[in-house]
Structure 1
Amino acid sequence: MTIEDGKPTSSHSDAGDTSRGDERDQEKGDGIALPSHVAGSGTLDRLADTARDYAKAATAENTNKAYAADWKHFGRWCRIKGLDLLPPSPEMVGLYLADLAAPVGKAPAITVSTIERRLSGLAWHYQQRGFTLDRKNRHIVTVLAGIKRKHGKPPVQKEAILRDDILAMVATLPQDLRGLRDRAILLIGYAGGLRRSEIVSLDVHKDDTPDSGGWVDITDEGALLTLNAKTGWREVEIGRGSSNQTCPVHALEKWLHFARIDFGPLFVRTSRDGKTALPARLSDKHVVRLIKQTVLDAGIRSDLPEKRRLVLFSGHSLRAGLASSAEIDERYVQKHLGHASAEMTRKYQRRRDRFRVNLTKAAGL
C-alpha cells in the first residue's frame, strides 16, 4: 500500500434568520468588533482586523478549525430542530450532547472525547459573541456524566516508535533529496520528542517567516531548537549521535546542504521527481503520512493487519518512542518533552518499570 504525499448531515429548511445570520458571522471569524458608538475609519478598521488576527492566534490552528466545524455542526442541528443559536441554552446543549451520543437513524455515534471537544468549541464560540455557556449547569453536567459512564472507554494510546523501529524506518527511505528530507524529519522528530506541528513550523533562522513556530541553531555539539509550543516558548537540545548514519543533526545538515536551504522554512516540499526543493512549507499531515508509510515499509508490527497498523501509529508515536526509549532520569524526559507534570510524561512511556516502587511491600505485606 502507498500513502500519497499530496459528518453526517441532514437537509432541512432553515428555521429563522437568527441561526443563518449567526453562522455567517462565525464563518467570518468575527469575534472582535468596534464598539457600536464608534464610527469606523481606516485606522480603526485596520486595528480591528489586527485584533482579530491576535484573537485567532490565541488558540492553535487545528483547534480553531475543529471549533469552527463544531459550531457549524451545532448551527445546522439547531436549524433542523427549529431552534435558535442565541442566546445559549444549557437545556438545548444538553439535548445536543445526548443526540451526539445516541443519534437517531444512520448517523454514527461519536466518541466521548469528541463530544467533550465539541462542548468546548460551543463554549468558546459563545464567549466570542459576548455570551457565557454555563457548562456546570445540571442539564449539561448530568447528561455529560451519563454519557461518560455509559459510553466512556479507556484512552487508546498510539504505538510508540522505539529505537530499532526508527532505524528500520529511515533505512527504507531513498537517497534522493526527498529521502534526505524525510530522514531528517523522522530523526529530528524522534530525538527532539517533537509534535508534528512543531517539526514543520521550524525555520532556519529566527524571524525568517511570519508563520514561524521556532528556529534551529546548529553547533559542533548539536542542534538547539527554540520552539513556540503549546505551553509557550521552550528550548530543545538535540545532541549529535554516535554515528552519522543515525545522527539527527547530521541528517538535518545533509538535507539543508543538498536542498540549498539557508533561509525560510526548515522543511519544504520537493518536486515530483524528488530532486528539487520548493519554497512551500510542508504540512504537518506529511509527517503523519511519512510515519505510516515507513512503518508499513519497515514491516513494524507485521503481526497485525495493515489497517490496524495504520491506526496504531501517528505523529505522537515519535514523542512516545523517545519517552519510552530514553533510559535516563524521568525529569530530563519531562523537560525535553515540555510537560508540566511527570504524570503527563508517564502517559507517553509505553515501556517502563511500573512496579519499581512496591507500596505493597513497603506497607509490610
Structure 2
Amino acid sequence: MDRSLNNSGRPTQISAIAPPSRPDPREGEERLAPTEDALSLPGHIASSGALDRLVETARDYARHAASENTLKAYAKDWAQFARWCRMRGADPLPPSPELIGLYIADLAAPQGRVATLSVASIERRLSGLGWAYAQRGHPLDRKDRHIASVLAGIRRKHARPPVQKEAILPEDLRDMLDTLPHDLRGLRDRAMLLIGFAGGLRRSEIVSLDHGKDDTPDGGGWAEILEGGVLLTLRGKTGWREVEIARGSSDQTCPVHALTQWLHYARIDFGPLFVAVSRNGLKATGARLSDKHVARLIKQTVEDAGLRPELSKAERLALYSGHSLRAGLASSAEVDERYVQKQLGHASAEMTRRYQRRRDRFRVNLTKAAGL
C-alpha cells in the first residue's frame, strides 16, 4: 500500500486497490487527453456561426502555443505518468501533490530494472505534467511541500554537472566537409553544416528555414542573400530575431557560397530551404527535412572524418549532436562575447558561456590583483 502525508501531517492512503494484471498501456489515455471543450463558448452565450469559427481559431492558436517537439514530449510525459498511476490503482486526476511526490521519488530511485532518470529529466517530466494539468483546467502547484521538498532532496543527492556535447571546431568541420560527396546531396549537406555552424543555429532552426517570407505555413524563418552575406530571420523561443552570416575567407568554407550553390543546382526559389533529394541524387524534392536529419548528418560525418579516434564508435557518436555546431561557434569565434550571445539568441551571457568549450580561463587574475 502506498502512503504519503496529507496537509495535516497524518498518513493518507494513496491506493488500496490491487492493480489489474498486465494493464494496457494505452487504456484510458484518450480519457486523459485534453478535451476539445477546454476552449469553448461560455455556457450562457448562445452559439453562432461566427462565434463557432472564433472558437476553432482560438483552438488552433492554442495548438501552436508550443513547438511540435515540445508538445510531443509533454504528451509522452503525461502518458507515462498516467500508466504509472494505473499500475498502482491510482487516478491522475485531479492532481495530487502527494502522489506526484511519490512519482518523482520512484523516477529517482526506481525498483527493479527500470533505468534511473537524471535530475534534468525528472524536472522535464514535472514541466510536462504541469502543462498537461493546465490543459485540463487543474493547475499544479509545484511549490507544494510534497513536491518541492522531494525534488530538493533529489537535486541534493543525485544532481551531477551537466554532460556537454563536444564542440565541432573549425578544423573538425573542414574534415567533416571533406567526407561529403560532390553531388546534389553533398551540396545540400555542406550548406546545412556551414550555415548551422556560422549561424550558431539549432538543428530545428536549420530545417525550418524557407526561401522567402511566408512561403510555407510551417516555416520557422527565411533567408535573404545580400552582398555581404545571408540575413536569416528566425522565429525563436522568445520571438523573432535576425542572424547575420557573413561571407567566409574561401569558397570551400564559405557558408554563403555553399548555400547559393545548393539553391542554384537544386533549383529552389520557393518553399523550404533544405529538402530531400531523390534516390538517384539528381533532383531536389519539395519535402522539408526533419531536424533528425541534421543529427544524423553530424554523427555520420564525424564518424567518416575519424574525429576523436581514441574513443570507441559508440562513445564518439554519443559525444556529438546538433548542439555541437552551436558550441563550435561559441568556442571558436575570437570576438567580444556579446556578439556571440546575440548570434546564438541567448538572453544572458552566462548561457553563452555554457557553450564555450575552450576559452581563455584565468585571463583575469583576481588573486594577484588582490595582492597575493
One of 99, 123, 127 as aligned partner of 1:92? 99
Q: Is the 8 A contact 1:14 1:80 kept in 2?
A: no
Residue of structure 2 equivalent to 1:140: 147
Tell whether 2:112 aligns with 1:112: no
Q: Is the 8 A contact 2:35 2:136 kept in 1?
A: no
Counterpart code for 1:157? Q
Q: Deviations over 1:35-94 (max 9, x none)?
A: 344455554443323222212222122111110100111111111111122211100000
Q: CA deviation at 1:327?
A: 0.5
Instruction: Provide TM-score, normalisation by structure 1.
Output: 0.92
Between the aligned partners of 1:64 and 1:318, the Cα distance in structure 2 is 25
Structure label with greater radius of gyration:
2
Q: Is the 8 A contact 2:29 2:79 kept in 1?
A: no
Residue of structure 2 equivalent to 1:6: none
Between the aligned partners of 1:364 and 1:119, the Cα distance in structure 2 is 48
The 10-residue stretch of structure 1 (281-290 or 101-110) with the greater mean CA deviation from structure 2: 101-110
Mapping of residues 154-165 of structure 1, within 5 Å:
154-165=161-172
Change over 3 Å in CA distance of 1:132–1:241 after alignment to 2? same
Mapping of residues 1-365 of structure 1, within 5 Å:
12-13=22-23, 23-26=30-33, 31-365=38-372
Counterpart code for 1:364? G
Q: CA deviation at 1:334?
A: 0.7
Change over 3 Å in CA distance of 1:30–1:216 after alignment to 2? farther
Q: CA deviation at 1:13?
A: 4.1
Between the aligned partners of 1:250 and 1:221, the Cα distance in structure 2 is 11
Q: CA deviation at 1:20?
A: 6.1
Secondary structure of 1:136 counterpart: coil
Q: Is the 8 A contact 1:204 1:262 kept in 2?
A: yes
Q: Is the 8 A contact 2:212 2:270 kept in 1?
A: yes
Between the aligned partners of 2:24 and 2:279, the Cα distance in structure 1 is 46
Secondary structure of 1:225 counterpart: strand
Secondary structure of 1:87 counterpart: coil
Q: Deviations over 1:148-206 (max 9, x none)?
A: 12221110000000000111111110011010000000000000000000000000000
Question: Which blocks of at least 5 consecutive residues in structure 2 are unaligned?
Answer: 1-19
Between the aligned partners of 2:363 and 2:38, the Cα distance in structure 1 is 51
Between the aligned partners of 2:36 and 2:175, the Cα distance in structure 1 is 45
Change over 3 Å in CA distance of 1:37–1:216 after alignment to 2? same
How many pairs align?
353
The 10-residue stretch of structure 1 (44-53 or 291-300) with the greater mean CA deviation from structure 2: 44-53
Between the aligned partners of 2:37 and 2:130, the Cα distance in structure 1 is 16
Q: Is the 8 A contact 1:30 1:52 kept in 2?
A: no
Secondary structure of 2:33 counterpart: helix
Between the aligned partners of 1:198 and 1:28, the Cα distance in structure 2 is 31
Q: CA deviation at 1:32?
A: 2.5
Q: Is the 8 A contact 1:187 1:251 kept in 2?
A: yes
Q: Is the 8 A contact 1:22 1:85 kept in 2?
A: no
Q: Deviations over 1:121-140 (max 9, x none)?
A: 11111111211211011110
Between the aligned partners of 2:51 and 2:29, the Cα distance in structure 1 is 24
Q: Deviations over 1:78-128 (max 9, x none)?
A: 111111222111000000101111112221111111110000111111111
Change over 3 Å in CA distance of 1:251–1:71 after alignment to 2? same
Sequence identity of aligned pairs in percent?
71
Question: Which blocks of at least 5 consecutive residues in structure 1 are unaligned?
Answer: 1-9
Between the aligned partners of 1:181 and 1:99, the Cα distance in structure 2 is 46
Between the aligned partners of 1:42 and 1:117, the Cα distance in structure 2 is 40
Secondary structure of 1:74 counterpart: helix
Counterpart code for 1:76? R
Between the aligned partners of 2:136 and 2:371, the Cα distance in structure 1 is 59
